């Protein structure tokens, strides 16, 4: 049993700093396990993208041999349809394997640690549900963006127009127009940002819920996340910001610095090609390194929210009063 597991039974509701600290401790204690899961999840996702690209290339090549440019376009479209299957499967595997990290983190906190193999066996039968959950989350985020954008356009436009009219009458049209546009854009962006933050916070732990709770499905896990995160938006955002700041130095080295170098190099040189390949590899490594941290944070946050809202003995009970290990 790790030090995190030994301390699990002593934990109660946590403040945001405790959530991040507990996640970091879990990450350190089970680094090899978490890193391997993240690498495997990323490999499945990259494999899905590669499978889609390969299908497009093969069928486009066949189409070009039959009907020149038109055949190549048709073949490429067919390839995209065929290649969508490996992309979906790879995405589902990525989602499921990454959520295993959150499950393992939670189990450590309730002093019921699992091996990665046992956790994967529990999550594997729900692969279709993870794929469906990803689709539902995408719809939710798109809906939030469109709704937020519409509200931002109406509110920002109205306030900007009103401000421009008032200041134009009091000062002059130029100042009024500039200030009206500036204020309208600022308010509109603020509304859109708040809408996206709100929906992301309410659905933040959905995949961890699906990985942990035996009776949950895609829709139910979203509803459960929505229920648990009620009145905790600010706390979740503080946790999110702290985690982002912790990962920032890693991503600066693996993502941001190589991207800046690529912008400075001529795009037609050998050095550019080598740098681009190294940039891609570093980006994947950076993603693999930070993925377990985010999933550990979700696992700890799930524990914290359940402690706060339900006050259950999480090591022994589930929502319906039955054991967490039922069906496991």
Q: Is pTM, for the whole model, over 0.75?
A: yes
The CA distances from residue 210 to 238, 262, 288, 294, in Å, are 24, 40, 22, 16
User: What is the distance, to the nearest Å, from the Cα of residue 215 to the centroid of all Cα atoms in its chain?
Assistant: 23
Per-residue pLDDT reduced to its tens digit, 283-316: 899 999 999 999 999 999 999 998 887 775 544 4
124 or 267: which leads in pLDDT: 124
Of 79, 12, 30, the residue nearest 50 (C-alpha): 79
pLDDT of residue 322: 41
Average pLDDT over residues 1-17: 58
Q: Would you place residue 263 in the very low, low, confident or very high pLDDT band (cuts 50, 70, 90)?
A: confident
| DSSP letter string, 139-204 | HHHHHHHHHHHHHHHHHHHHHHHHHHHHHHHHT-HHHHHHHHHHHHHHHHHHHHHHHHHHHHHHTT
Q: Would you place residue 319 in the very low, low, confident or very high pLDDT band (cuts 50, 70, 90)?
A: very low
- Supply the mean pLDDT for the chain: 84
41 or 168: which leads in pLDDT: 41
pLDDT of residue 5: 46
The b-or-e profile of 163-179 (16+ CB within 10 A means b, else e) is bbeebbeeeeeeebbeb
- Integer Cα distance of 73 and 78 in angstroms: 9
> Is residue 94 pLDDT above 90, yes or no?
yes
pLDDT of residue 316: 40
> Is residue 36 pLDDT above 50, yes or no?
yes
Of all residues in the chain, the percent with pLDDT exceeding 90 is 45
| DSSP at 126 | G
Residue 34 burial (CB < 10 Å; 0-12/13-18/19+)?
buried
Residue carrying the six token digits 């681009």: 276
Q: Would you place residue 9 in the very low, low, confident or very high pLDDT band (cuts 50, 70, 90)?
A: very low
Neighbours of 184 (CB within 10 A): 22
pLDDT of residue 312: 53
Average pLDDT over residues 54-65: 81
Average pLDDT over residues 41-49: 93
> Is residue 216 pLDDT above 80, yes or no?
yes
pLDDT of residue 313: 52
> Is residue 276 pLDDT above 70, yes or no?
yes
pLDDT of residue 273: 77
CB 299 within 8 A of CB 225: no
pLDDT of residue 323: 42
**Encoding tokens for residue 173?**
């049209």
Q: List phi, psi (to 5°) of 320.
A: -95, 15
Of 50, 72, 78, the residue nearest 60 (C-alpha): 72
The CA distances from residue 151 to 95, 97, 160, 181, in Å, are 32, 37, 14, 16
- Integer Cα distance of 208 and 95 in angstroms: 10
CB 105 within 8 A of CB 66: no
pLDDT of residue 325: 42
Q: E strand or H helix at 122, and its extent? A: helix 116-123
> Is residue 12 pLDDT above 90, yes or no?
no
> Is residue 136 pLDDT above 90, yes or no?
yes
Average pLDDT over residues 92-107: 94
**Encoding tokens for residue 214?**
């035996």
pLDDT of residue 13: 65
| DSSP letter string, 274-313 | HHHHHHHHHHHHHHHHHHHHHHHHHHHHHHHHHHHHH---
> Is residue 272 pLDDT above 70, yes or no?
yes
């Amino acid at each position: 049993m790790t030090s995190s597991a030994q301390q699990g039974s002593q934990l109660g509701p946590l403040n945001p700093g405790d959530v991040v600290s507990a996640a970091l401790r879990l990450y350190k204690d089970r680094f090899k396990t978490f890193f391997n899961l993240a690498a495997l999840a990323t490999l499945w996702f990259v494999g899905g993208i590669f499978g889609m690209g390969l299908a497009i290339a093969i069928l486009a090549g066949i189409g070009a041999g039959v009907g020149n440019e038109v055949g190549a376009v048709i073949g490429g479209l067919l390839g995209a349809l065929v290649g969508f299957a490996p992309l979906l499967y790879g995405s589902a595997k990525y989602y499921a394997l990454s959520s295993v990290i959150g499950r393992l983190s939670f189990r450590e906190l309730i002093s019921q640690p699992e091996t990665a193999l046992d956790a994967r066996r529990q999550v594997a039968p729900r692969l279709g549900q993870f794929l469906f959950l990803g689709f539902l989350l995408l719809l939710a985020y798109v809906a939030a963006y469109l709704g937020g954008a519409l509200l931002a356009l109406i509110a920002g436009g109205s306030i900007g127009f009103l401000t421009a009219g008032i200041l134009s009458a009091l000062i002059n049209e130029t100042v009024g127009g500039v200030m009206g546009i500036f204020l309208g854009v600022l308010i509109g962006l603020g509304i859109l940002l708040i809408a996206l933050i709100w929906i992301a916070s309410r659905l933040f732990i959905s995949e961890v819920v699906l990985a942990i709770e035996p009776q949950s499905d895609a829709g139910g896990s979203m509803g459960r996340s929505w229920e648990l995160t009620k009145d905790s938006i600010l706390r979740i955002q503080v946790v999110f910001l702290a985690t982002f700041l912790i990962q920032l130095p890693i991503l600066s080295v693996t993502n941001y610095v190589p991207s800046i170098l690529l912008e400075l190099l001529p795009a037609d040189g050998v050095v550019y090609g080598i740098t681009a390949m190294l940039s891609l590899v570093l980006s994947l490594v950076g993603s693999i390194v930070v993925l377990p941290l985010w999933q550990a944070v979700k696992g700890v946050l799930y524990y914290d929210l359940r402690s706060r809202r339900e006050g259950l003995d999480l090591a022994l009970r589930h929502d319906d009063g039955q054991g967490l290990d039922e069906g496991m």
